[in-house]
Amino acid sequence: MFDNLEKINHRPKPFEFYTAADLWTDEHISKQMLEYHLNEDVDLASRNRAFVEKSAAWMIERFNIGPGVRICDFGCGPGLYTTPFAEAGADVTGIDFSERSIRHARETAGDRGLTIDYVLQNYLEYKSDKKFDLISLIFCDFCPLSPQQRKTLLGIFRDHLAEGGAVLVDVISLKFFEDTKEARTYEYAPEGGFWSPEAYYMFLNTFKYDEEKAILNKHTIIERSRTREIFNWLQCFSLESLTLELKEAGLTVIEQYADVAGGPYGADSPQFTVVARAEP
């Protein structure tokens, strides 16, 4: 028992494990994630509906989204942004590796008479001859990725940007890192819950990595028949560190905001958003 508890509380190396697929492709968990996506009142798998509508409207205005504009939303989920972009007349592509979310997005497009190219794929492996006027990565999807994964993704962005095209990315800030405390919590779900339809114990360890400015939420889920570990990494950025990372990939930050609804940037925000263009 002691050895098991030691393993539960073990602090891994920064970005040592990557388990994002377990959240989005597991039959039970992906159903829970889709329900959170579609819950209009919460900011979990995606932001609440009122904010999504506000931010989609801002993006449509800011990037002149309409007929002839080619957009790719990386990590599109069930189509909360791709749908309004297509309704504005844009040529829209959405990429996600959650089959359940892509299926919902396709059904929504069909119901509304929209043509949207949905790609069921890990966006770290995306390759296409298409070039886009706008590439978006929303709800801080950049932050769970390791440095090498982020480098790979930014290279994909650079390769798929049309001339004069823009990248929109939002991230978690250093303010969020500073406000987060290391913690250990415990949950018992005798009738099942988010992590499993069966009874389980869940241990959550929140670790901070000061040098890397990263946070790990390590979930250990213990069921009668198996034990699983889910590692949810969150890389936190300053405007300077994100600008440098994008510059190294050939992308220049041209604007910064508090959020993807165009709010004014401030250093005390827990998140922030940048717009970048490819360097000539």
pLDDT at 40: 55
Cα(122)–Cα(46) distance, integer angstroms: 18
CB 137 within 8 A of CB 168: yes
Residue ranges per domain, the chain?
2-25+177-234, 29-171+237-278
pLDDT at 43: 47
Cα(95)–Cα(110) distance, integer angstroms: 17
CATH topology of domain 29-171+237-278: Rossmann fold (3.40.50)
Report the amino acid identity of residue 42.
V
pLDDT at 20: 84
According to DSSP, the residues that pair with 162 across neighbouring strands are: none
β strands within 190-249, DSSP E: 200-209, 214-223, 227-237
Cα(23)–Cα(105) distance, integer angstroms: 18
Q: How many CB atoms lie under 10 A from the CB of residue 107?
A: 12
pLDDT at 45: 43
Sequence-ordered list of residues with C-beta below 8 angstroms from that of 257, at least 6 positions apart, any chain: 263, 264, 265, 272, 273, 274, 275
With CA atoms as reference, report the closest residue to 66 among 81, 87, 83, 95.
87
Report the amino acid identity of residue 249.
A
According to DSSP, the residues that pair with 237 across neighbouring strands are: 173
Output the CA–CA distances (angstroms, integers) from residue 213 to 148, 185, 236, in the order listed. Answer: 16, 22, 6
pLDDT at 114: 97
Low-confidence residues of the chain: pLDDT under 70: 34, 36-47
pLDDT at 232: 95
CB 72 within 8 A of CB 51: no
Round the CA-based radius of gyration of the chain to a whole number and report it: 19
